[in-house]
Amino acid sequence: MTELCTGIASYELLERALEQIPYAKLLGVQVREQAGQPLFYLPYAEKNIGNILLPAIHGGVIGGFLENAAVLHLMWARESAGIPRIVDFSIDYLRSARALDLYGRCDIVRQGKRVANVLMTAWQDDPAKPVAMARAHFLLA
């Protein structure tokens, strides 16, 4: 994956990097460009449902989606071949993620030479109504 991430300003390279992450590939994570920033996208798939009675997307799927989005967003923003390593991750589930497509956006809150703090938001129909928000610290390569 290192060779794919060199100069990762291209969304095509982000898509190729996603193909190299087994869990992201299993979930079906995709990326597209919106307003000059990566927008992460998880199309609805029955395999990602955790509660079949609601039905609702499994919380672990949402967490994995947001973690992968944050790693790739950091690589994109830093245009770096180094893969950030997670130090800690905290997620707040705000409402049930229904059996619909899921979107995610990341914001780098603070980035130093060795550590970065990233805020992630996941939503479905309306970005103003997030289903989950997460915060993570990453050790930069």
Q: What is the CATH number of the domain that holds 23?
A: 3.10.129.10
Q: What one-character DSSP code corresponds to residue 10?
A: S
CA distance 82 to 95: 34
Q: Look at residue 1 in the predicted model and tell me its pLDDT.
A: 45
The shares of helix, strand and coil residues in the chain, as percent rounded to the nearest 5, are 30, 40, 30
> Number of structural domains, the chain?
1
Q: Look at residue 4 in the predicted model and tell me its pLDDT.
A: 45
pLDDT > 90 in the chain, percent: 72
Domain residue limits at 107: 2-139
Structure tokens at 124: 């479905």
